[in-house]
Structure formats: C-alpha cells, structure tokens
Amino acid sequence: MHYRFDRQSLARGLMVWGPRLGLVAALLAACGVLTLLRPHFLSVPNLTNVVRQVSINGLLAVGVTWVLLTGGVDLSLGSVVALSGVVAAHLAHPGMYPLWVPIAAGIAAGAACGGINGLFVARGGVPPFIATLGMMTAARGLALVLSGGRPVSNMSPALTRLAGDWSHVPVPALILGGVALAAGWTLRNTRPGRYLFAVGGNEQAARAAGIPVRGIKGLAYTVCGALAGLAGVVLAARITTGQPNAGVGYELDAIAAVVIGGTSLSGGVGSVGGTLLGVLLMGVIGNGLDLLNVSSYYQQIVKGAIIVGAVWFDRRQRRTVRRV
C-alpha cells in the first residue's frame, strides 16, 4: 500500500487538530497554575461552579459556531438572550402555563430573531455585521418595551429549577451537553451539516455544486438564534427574573470562545468539540481571576487580549495554509 504525502492536507489537518491539542495543553496548564496558587480551585464545589458558569456561554458558542462556519458573524446574541428571558418570564408566573410554554416561547423568540438575521444576510445581501448589529439594537429595545424597562419577576419555581442540580450535576451543564452532542453530530453526519462547511469554505463552489447557499445560511442563523433563546431561558431561571438589560457583551465572549476553539472567522473550519474546549478555557481563566481577587476591570482587559490574540492566531494559520 502506498501513501502519498500531501502537504496541503497535512497543513489543513494541523489547522484543525493543532488548536485542539494546544487548547488541551493550555487548559491543563491553567488548572495546574491555579491549583498551586489556590489549592481549593480543584474542589468539587468550585469545579461545579465553573461548569455552571460556562453553560450559558457554551450554548451561545455552539450556536455561533454554525454561523462562523458559513463565514458570517452574529453580534445580536446578548440582546436576544435578554429578549428571550423576558418573554419566558412573562409566561412563567405561578399557575399560568405549563412549564414547556415559557421554554418554547423563549426559544421561539430567539429563533425568530435568528431567522430575521438570516433573511437579511442570505436573501437581502446585507453584510452579517450590519444585519446582526441592527438586530442587537432592535432586540434590546423590544426587551425593554415588553418589560417596561423593569425586571420581570414572580417566576414559577418549576422554571427556576432549570438552573438547579440533578443528581449533583448542574442542569444547565446537562442541557449544554445534550445540545453540543446534537449539534456536533449534525455537523458531521448530516447533509446540512456538511453543507455548512462547504458554504464557508468556498461559497461560489458550493453554489455551483447545487448547494442551497441561502437556505444553509438561514438555517445557521436560525439555529444560532434558537440556542440564544434557550440560553436566555436558562439565564432567567438562574437569576429568577427576566432582565431586559441582561446579556451585555455575551456575544463577544461566545465569539472569542469559538475562535479560541479553532473555528475560523473566514468560515469552513471548526468543530463543536473545539468550541467547548474554548468555552472551558475561558471559564477556567475567569474563575481563576476571581479566586485571585483580580478586579473585574482588569478581567475585561484580559478578555480583550484573548480575543485579539485568537483572531491573530486564526489569520496566521490561514496564511500558512494558503502558502502550502
């Protein structure tokens, strides 16, 4: 049996697996350093807290992975989280509706926002940055209108249990695990999933091959919006109110985690597994800075540096593949 050495395939393989191996090493290193500085970092309560904290960002990151794979971006996530939380809270007063109604309504609100984004991007030809920036403003405004600018409280205990534990495991983490497994399997084993990679890799070639590019882009934004809606419901359950000012800056945390996880901003390269590693790394760093009593102001600087560094690394890898 003969094997042919393909430099471009090797480069692309390193582009996919290199960041994952680097992330695992960085995650282990961060855990080791934090354990030395704060021995209780590895305590079960703290690790449970980390998992609970990253769950919402994880849901957003899984959704935005689909969008980035097409070469797009979604800046409306934080506002959609707030809107979905307000919608769910309005329908979650004790004795008002069964539990599934506010959950479904919150997810539907997010999916509607994502669908509108996809419509403008795929059908209207509006750049993703502009379309989702407009939705960011509109969704935030709608959340404020529906809530009257005040938190929506008096939520049913049944809904708030979504932020609790099941057999000592945080329910939000179980939700994230189920969503990540379904999203990852769909990307790798279904035709729409493969089409996402094709559209992001070369949109013109995908269109020439008969792939419904507009429909695939619309699907990506709708899924992203639906997961933002689910994240909004989970957040409302966690803080026991529908907060119209919630979610500010969440989109940047999600995009940063996805890019750190190896998904290219240019599209066509990425994975849900890598995204989860990126989410965990950001969560561990954030938790570690809290344990070290680092001011939240300095934490924002660290996050900004991580985002810029991740984008720089992504661009560097893309140039390497093109040279090969």
Span 282-323, pLDDT tens digits: 999 999 999 999 998 898 898 888 778 877 776 776 665 555
The pLDDT of residue 1 is 46
Q: Identify the CA nearest to 282 among candidates 25, 35, 26, 77.
A: 26
Distances (CA, A) of 302 to 49, 244, 267, 309: 21, 27, 26, 10
274 in Cβ contact with 23 (< 8 Å): yes
- Classify residue 100: in a domain, yes or no: yes
Say which range, 23-27, 157-161, 240-244, 286-290, has the weakest mean pLDDT: 23-27
- Classify residue 206: in a domain, yes or no: yes
Q: Is residue 260 scored above 60 in pLDDT?
A: yes
Give the separation between CA 274 and CA 190, rounded to whole angstroms. 19
Strand, coil or helix: 107: helix
The pLDDT of residue 305 is 86
Where do we find the tokens 């959704």? 63
Average pLDDT score over residue span 275-287: 93
- Classify residue 313: in a domain, yes or no: yes
Q: What is the pTM of this model?
A: 0.90
Q: Is residue 3 scored above 50 in pLDDT?
A: no
Question: pLDDT for 75-103, tens place per residue?
Answer: 999 999 999 999 999 999 988 899 999 99
- Classify residue 278: in a domain, yes or no: yes
Give the separation between CA 44 and CA 58, rounded to whole angstroms. 20
Q: Determine which helix (DSSP H) or strand (DSSP E) holds 246, and give its type and residue range.
A: none
How is residue 241 annotated by DSSP?
Answer: S
The pLDDT of residue 316 is 72
The pLDDT of residue 5 is 47
Average pLDDT score over residue span 241-245: 95
The pLDDT of residue 312 is 79
- Classify residue 319: in a domain, yes or no: yes
Question: pLDDT for 153-176, tens place per residue?
Answer: 989 999 999 988 988 899 999 999
- Classify residue 191: in a domain, yes or no: yes
Average pLDDT score over residue span 193-201: 95
Bridge partner residues of 170 (DSSP): 165
324 in Cβ contact with 11 (< 8 Å): yes
> Which CATH number fits the domain that encloses residue 262?
1.10.3470
Question: pLDDT for 102-141, tens place per residue?
Answer: 999 999 999 999 999 999 999 999 999 999 999 999 999 9
Confidence of residue 264 (pLDDT cuts 50, 70, 90): confident
Q: Identify the CA nearest to 31 among candidates 262, 258, 291.
A: 291
Average pLDDT score over residue span 235-261: 93
Number of structural domains (the chain) is: 1
* Residue ranges making up the domain that contains 272: 41-323
125 in Cβ contact with 100 (< 8 Å): no
The pLDDT of residue 138 is 97
Q: Is residue 184 scored above 80 in pLDDT?
A: yes
- Classify residue 238: in a domain, yes or no: yes
Say which range, 27-31, 208-212, 310-314, has the weakest mean pLDDT: 310-314
Confidence of residue 14 (pLDDT cuts 50, 70, 90): low
Average pLDDT score over residue span 258-279: 90
261 in Cβ contact with 63 (< 8 Å): no
62 in Cβ contact with 287 (< 8 Å): no
**79: which 2 tokens?**
């506002």
Confidence of residue 61 (pLDDT cuts 50, 70, 90): very high
